[in-house]
Amino acid sequence: MSQVNRISGGQIDRTQSIRFTFDGQPYAGHPGDTLASALLANGVQLMGRSFKYHRPRGPLSAGSEEPNALVELRSGARQEPNTRATVAELFDGLTANSQNRWPSLRFDALAINDRLNTFFTAGFYYKTFMWPAAFWEKVYEPIIRRAAGLGSMSRLEDPDEYDKGFLHCDLLIIGAGPAGLMAALTAGRAGARVILADEDFRMGGRLNAETYAVGDQAGADWAAAAVAELASLPNVRLMNRTTVVGAFDHGIYSAVERVSDHLPTPLPGKPRQTLWRIYSAHAISAGGATERPVAFENNDRPGIMLAGSLRAFANRWGVAAGDRVAVFTNNDDGLRSAKDLQAKGVDVVAVIDCREGGDLLPGIRHLRGAEVIDSGGRLGLKSISVRQSSGKTEVIRVNALGVSGGWNPNVNITSHHRSRPEWRADIAAFVPGAGGPDNLISAGAAAGILSTHGALATGQAQALVVLERLGRSAKPAALPKAEDAPIAISPLWYVHHGKGRAWIDPQNDVTIKDVKLAHQENFSSVEHLKRYTTLGMATDQGKTGNVIGLAVMAELTGRSIPETGTTIYRPPYTPVAMGTLAGRSRGKEFKPFRLTPSHKWATEQGAVFVEVGNWLRAQWLPREGETHWRQSVDREVLATRKSVGICDVTTLGKIDIQGTDAGAFLDRVYANTFSTLAVGKCRYGLMLREDGMVFDDGTTARMGEHEFVMTTTTANAVTVFRHLEYCRQCLWPDMDVQLISTTEAWAQYSVAGPNARRLLQKIVDQDISDVAFPYMGAGNVTVCGGLRARLFRISFSGELAYEIAVPTRYGDAMIRKLVEAGAEYDAVVYGTETLGVMRIEKGHVAGNELNGQSTALNMGLGKMVSKKKDSIGMAMAQREGMNNPAGYRLVGVKPVDAANALTAGSHFLEIGAAPIVENDGGWLTSMVYSPHLGSHIALGYLRGGDQKIGRRMRAVNFLNKTDIEVEIVSPHFFDPEGERLRG
Amino acid sequence: MIINHPILGPRDAQEFVYLGDANLINRPDGLTASPQEMHDYVYLRTNPAGEHRELWYHEQGDRSWLVVTRNTVTHEITKVELARDVARQMGRSK
């Protein structure tokens, strides 16, 4: 198809042709075109279907405020739904498809919804699908979800990269129209660091769409010259294709740069989009204004668009939206559209002006005191019905209509700080209100100054305000001469005629009737209006429709518009892709793994890994022939208990604590006492939160008089360190105590089992006999003939055990050395599963028991809380409710029939008791199969558990429907006297 | 937000961890405090719409605990102090 509606002029490169397809049909356009301008040039007005009624739709606007012309752009993994055709830059090979229609755009089966519109009024969902309640999830929601929604996702991995960046400047200028360019010139020439951002690919704003002169040049040429000068200034950064989407605290703005959206695929190494975080001392909002329509019956047909957009398509893109055009306006700016189109040779058949007075347009049929009351045409506009001032109705054949109801300053960004826009009656629009941050000011149309001269003047003036605040001197320069026409508007929000539907939010299909219904049902506050009708809740955030809805509500309630109020805008200004917000934080880059020092070795052994926080730890290390994880784990447990096993325990948090008050400090942060600990010894410590619950546990060693090494659980390494810093700085600021996290500094291995000492003695240079290095001993040693190391004789497994730490860079060498030295003892390396089996056999608490809701008493460690000294949580741990004798106590659990498996999470019930909440006795926290005992065993919290040792109960699990008779036993299943670990 | 760290200058709030009311510095002695006093300290916070002194921790930085005076309505920050200095001014020592 040829470009039948292409007319002369415009900022497109006619020497080059660009091929693209829409719904499979090939078309041609030119560089500089948007998808919308190119489709209109090819005579295509129908571009989409509305959300609810599936009404045929074409573009309402020529910019980012577009509610109607939403398409799916590109195909395959790059398919992007809900793209506004009015801002999609044309490139060769672009493919676009219409959405929200089936089987085709021209014939859409769900257009039946339009016939059923009396059912689909405001609050439809709330009213219709209320009952039966059981139907909601299974019946109503799936149907609604299938019918609703606009575009569809590709459901494929996005092949493109997205980036994030940080920028700093003195002045961020949002919008590069006449106000923004003048502000940038003023501040840039004065030497300030300026960022000028504009969402368009071509800077100049409205100047590109107008025939106005600026100085002795066409507006667009003046803009191009200004951009060229700015580009030559090293202190100015020009960012086109960049939308400032949000204003945040303290001069932080977010901006989305569409780096590659205008290309078929991003250039190598380039992201598709970049999310910029801009730190700016000052900002000027110069984002211009958005035109709004006047609502009348059937005002949503393709071909009916904003008058200023009709003009923009003609002036900037050389496109007439139709060959018989009319304009419906309540202000002088609408007349300009008629004049510009006429000057381009387009047949302007009528101007329908609701105002009675004023000058007649020469050479055009100018109907004053008239209104458009209806339109005709199924898939595109064919005619309009006009009610003349005499009351006579006339049908006029047109295929394009420009509508102007006035211009709304873009207050969006300035209201992100909750500053409420203020009503200005003279321009019948909201302007930025007070209450925003001082360093965000507005200029030009965004401030309600709607003439070109006004834009240039305020752009310069506001830049001078900023320069003065920055302490830079600058004088006002002579401004180029530009039009300074008054607004001359007579507010008209909707045409009072007929009973049909008149759209105010075309994307969400909100009509005047819906607003009236909301009012009738008493949803008359603006916030209720919005939510009840969904006005302004579509992807365009109601940029064209919100003020009309507000005005209608004001009329219905007999209040003024400012009395009725306004909803404020929230970020983002225009929709932002999820991929852009994620940036490079995808997959591994979102959650990188922390690898233990033995990781390489464990990988070589074919270890199975488990994620522990960000850590990857070996879970078990299968040997040849082992097909089930239990075979590996049982082997590891038995081999360790029989001879010796090695485990990487580097992930435990390590904190070096030094200073003359280090001992006293530990007494305050641990519930038990550490100041009395002898040098060269370690002790198990219990740390409480201030509310008396257990926070963390671990062993802490005294390496010197004023030097301790604390270990924390893997999960709490960061939070314990933060807490200790808090205690040190905020609670006891004069204590001489210094902290440093050494978790990453030391590779630490547990060596456990009857042969642990024999194995380690081959590596440690000093004597580690029981006499020289007794149970709970700790100290600095050397290994392998001189390498510094730390040795702790501590046991989590219940065996004779040590933990040996070497500087991390020797971690890989150390695991290899340990394995080599252990070969003669058939040493095994075990993973976290075996660690878990042995700690449960020994009755040690871990993450499942340290659940943030447990007290020391619950864990059977109540006596550890010293009342002789003040410590964090000591006072609150004394509360009566936390010392209930019938409260939870840690117990061991065995199935009466050893063949029965237990499930963690099962609940304790007395035998014969009904499985109801009132009879709940507690729950199983941790469960393992103990190869040593040949049975499943578990730990659990049982009410009054210490009084119930030996009792038979049931472990009931409703999820896997098990009900198993169990015996309550001591949690110390293995070597309860601790003879092995002292061996 | 930007927090003007007394030692390091203006830093992005993303580098910090928020704790809450700076009154947490006023910890009673656990051996002598009444249960009511301890309860109030642990559980009661004022939640003002306006100026609020609160504790922030420069976790991705120098590990300073700071007392930030911030307006909870406007997010304006009027004062940033080292928590250690504030604690000393409040008479805390060892």
Closest C-alpha among A372, A379, A374, A393 to residue A499? A374
Q: Which chain A residues are within 8 Å of B38, Cβ to Cβ?
A: 875-876
Instruction: Check residue A825 and give left, alpha or beta (phi > 0: left; psi -120 to 50: alpha).
Output: alpha
Judge if A195 and A274 occupy the same domain. yes
> HSE-up of A448 (CA within 13 Å, CB side)?
16
Inter-chain touch A250–B75, beta carbons under 8 Å: yes
Residue of B nearest to A732 (CA): B94
Identify the pLDDT of residue A128: 62
Tokens of A783: 């290994």
Residue of B nearest to A873 (CA): B30
ipTM: 0.99
Which of A359 and A639 is assigned the larger pLDDT?
A: A639
- Give the three-state DSSP class for A736: coil
Distance from C-alpha of A133 to C-alpha of A304, rounded to nearest angstrom: 42
Residue of A nearest to B36 (CA): A876
Judge if A979 and A863 occupy the same domain. no
For the cut 60, the answer to whether the pLDDT of residue A712 exceeds it is yes
Helix (H) or strand (E) holding A936: strand A935-943
Cβ contacts of residue B34 below 8 Å, gap of 6+? none
Q: Is residue A719 part of a domain?
A: yes
Report the DSSP beta bridge partners of residue A739: A657
Tokens 């106005």 sit on residue: A212
Q: At A732, which CATH number?
A: 3.30.70.1400
Which of A760 and A53 is assigned the larger pLDDT?
A: A760
Protein fold of B2-89: Folate-binding fold (3.30.2270)
Is the torsion defined by CA of A558, A560, A561, A565 positive or negative? negative
Specify the DSSP class assigned to residue A855: -
Distance from C-alpha of A945 to C-alpha of A99, rounded to nearest angstrom: 63
Q: What's the whole-number mean pLDDT along residues A140-160?
A: 76
Reported as a single tens digit per residue, the pLDDT across A351-409 is: 999 999 888 899 999 999 999 999 999 999 999 999 999 999 999 999 999 999 999 99
Inter-chain touch A732–B33, beta carbons under 8 Å: no
Q: Which chain A residues are within 8 Å of B77, Cβ to Cβ?
A: 250
What are the backbone dihedrals phi and psi of residue A70, each rounded to the nearest 5 degrees, phi first? -100, 130
Q: Which chain B residues are within 8 Å of A690, Cβ to Cβ?
A: 27, 41-42
Judge if A920 and A872 occupy the same domain. no
Q: Which chain A residues are within 8 Å of B1, Cβ to Cβ?
A: 248-250, 252
Judge if A935 and A871 occupy the same domain. no
Specify the DSSP class assigned to residue A359: P
Cβ contacts of residue A902 below 8 Å, gap of 6+? A893, A895, A924, A927, A936, A937, A938, A955, A964, A966
Distance from C-alpha of B84 to C-alpha of A729, rounded to nearest angstrom: 5
Specify the DSSP class assigned to residue A161: -
Inter-chain touch B64–A661, beta carbons under 8 Å: no
Inter-chain touch B25–A722, beta carbons under 8 Å: no
Q: Tens-digit pLDDT profile for chain B (94 aa)?
A: 999 999 999 999 999 999 999 999 999 999 999 999 999 999 999 999 999 999 999 999 999 999 999 999 999 999 999 999 999 999 999 9
Partner-chain residue, chosen from B25, B31, B93, that has the shortest CB–CB distance to A730? B25
CA distances from A732 to A522, A670, A866, B85 (A): 59, 15, 20, 11
Specify the DSSP class assigned to residue A109: G
Distance from C-alpha of A102 to C-alpha of A54, rounded to nearest angstrom: 10
CA distances from A79 to A70, A98, A268, A535 (A): 13, 12, 19, 28
For the cut 70, the answer to whether the pLDDT of residue A144 exceeds it is no
On average, the pLDDT of chain A sits at 94
Q: What's the whole-number mean pLDDT along residues A68-76?
A: 94
Closest C-alpha among A458, A453, A451, A414 to residue A436? A414
Judge if A870 and A898 occupy the same domain. no
Judge if A212 and A270 occupy the same domain. yes
Specify the DSSP class assigned to residue B29: P
Distance from C-alpha of A717 to C-alpha of A855, rounded to nearest angstrom: 20
- Give the three-state DSSP class for A8: coil
Residue A506's pLDDT band (boundaries 50, 70, 90)?
A: very high
- What is the count of residue pairs from A and B with beta carbons less than 8 Å apart? 82
Inter-chain touch A875–B77, beta carbons under 8 Å: no
Question: What is the CA A640 to chain-centroid distance, rounded?
Answer: 47
- Give the three-state DSSP class for B88: helix
Q: A440: domain range? A: 162-289+409-469
Structural domain tally of chain A? 3
Residue A848's pLDDT band (boundaries 50, 70, 90)?
A: very high
Q: Domain boundary residue among A469, A489, A517? A: A469
Residue A684's pLDDT band (boundaries 50, 70, 90)?
A: very high
> HSE-up of B62 (CA within 13 Å, CB side)?
11
Q: How buried is A659 (Cβ within 10 angstroms: 0-12 exposed, 13-18 middle, 19+ buried)?
A: middle
Distance from C-alpha of A842 to C-alpha of A796, rounded to nearest angstrom: 8
Reported as a single tens digit per residue, the pLDDT across A771-822 is: 999 999 999 999 999 999 999 999 999 999 999 999 999 999 999 999 999 9
Identify the pLDDT of residue A204: 98
State the SS3 of A573-624: CCCCCHHHHHCCCCHHHCCCCEECCCHHHHHHCCCEEEEECCEEEEEECCCC
DSSP symbols for A393-441: EEEEE-SEEEEE--EEE--TGGGTT-PPPEEETTTTEEE--SSS-TTEE
Residue A575's pLDDT band (boundaries 50, 70, 90)?
A: very high
A870 in contact with B at a CB cutoff of 8 Å? yes
Q: Is residue A492 part of a domain?
A: no
Identify the residue among A730, A734, A882 best suited for mutation to test binding to B, counting B beta carbons within 10 A and taking the highest. Answer: A730
For the cut 70, the answer to whether the pLDDT of residue A192 exceeds it is yes
B42 in contact with A at a CB cutoff of 8 Å? yes
Specify the DSSP class assigned to residue B63: -
Distance from C-alpha of A739 to C-alpha of A388, rounded to nearest angstrom: 84
Q: At A905, which CATH number?
A: 2.40.30.110
CA distances from A741 to A536, A538, A662, A679 (A): 51, 49, 15, 21
Judge if A243 and A172 occupy the same domain. yes
DSSP symbols for A875-931: TGGG-GGGG-TTSEEEEEEEESSTT----TT-EEEETT--SSGGG--EEEEEEEEET
Q: Is residue A40 part of a domain?
A: no
- Give the three-state DSSP class for A777: strand
Closest C-alpha among A980, A639, A624 to residue A834? A639
Q: Is residue A380 part of a domain?
A: no
For the cut 90, the answer to whether the pLDDT of residue A422 exceeds it is yes
- Closest-CA distance of chain A to residue B58, Å: 10
Q: How buried is A374 (Cβ within 10 angstroms: 0-12 exposed, 13-18 middle, 19+ buried)?
A: buried
Q: How buried is A72 (Cβ within 10 angstroms: 0-12 exposed, 13-18 middle, 19+ buried)?
A: buried
Identify the pLDDT of residue A857: 96
Judge if A876 and A967 occupy the same domain. no
Q: What's the whole-number mean pLDDT along residues A227-233?
A: 98
Tokens of A578: 């999820």
Q: With beta carbons less than 8 A apart as the criterion, state whether A255 and A239 touch.
A: yes
Question: What is the CA B29 to chain-centroid distance, rounded?
Answer: 19
Is the torsion defined by CA of A516, A519, A523, A524 positive or negative? positive
Distance from C-alpha of A646 to C-alpha of A834, rounded to nearest angstrom: 11
Q: With beta carbons less than 8 A apart as the criterion, state whether A949 and A955 touch.
A: no
Reported as a single tens digit per residue, the pLDDT across A463-500 is: 999 999 999 989 999 999 999 988 889 999 999 988 88
Q: Is residue A532 part of a domain?
A: no
Reported as a single tens digit per residue, the pLDDT across A315-357 is: 999 999 999 999 999 999 999 999 999 999 999 999 999 999 8
Q: Is residue A141 part of a domain?
A: no
Q: With beta carbons less than 8 A apart as the criterion, state whether A403 and A386 touch.
A: no
Q: Which chain A residues are within 8 Å of B16, Cβ to Cβ?
A: none
Cis peptide before A142 (omega within 30 of 0): no
Least confident of A114-123, A267-276, A707-716, A928-937: A114-123
For the cut 70, the answer to whether the pLDDT of residue A212 exceeds it is yes
Inter-chain touch B82–A729, beta carbons under 8 Å: yes
What dihedral do alpha carbons A230, A234, A240, A242 form, nearest 10°? -130
Reported as a single tens digit per residue, the pLDDT across A8-33 is: 999 999 999 999 999 999 999 999 99
CA angle A17, A23, A29 (to 5 degrees): 15
Distance from C-alpha of A326 to C-alpha of A338, rounded to nearest angstrom: 8
Q: Which chain A residues are within 8 Å of B25, Cβ to Cβ?
A: 730-731
Partner-chain residue, chosen from B12, B84, B94, that has the shortest CB–CB distance to A661? B94
Identify the pLDDT of residue A627: 95
Identify the pLDDT of residue A117: 78
CA angle A421, A443, A178 (to 5 degrees): 135
Distance from C-alpha of A63 to C-alpha of A59, rounded to nearest angstrom: 9
Distance from C-alpha of A927 to C-alpha of A937, rounded to nearest angstrom: 6
Identify the pLDDT of residue A115: 79
Judge if A717 and A667 occupy the same domain. yes
Residue A149's pLDDT band (boundaries 50, 70, 90)?
A: low
Judge if A860 and A972 occupy the same domain. no
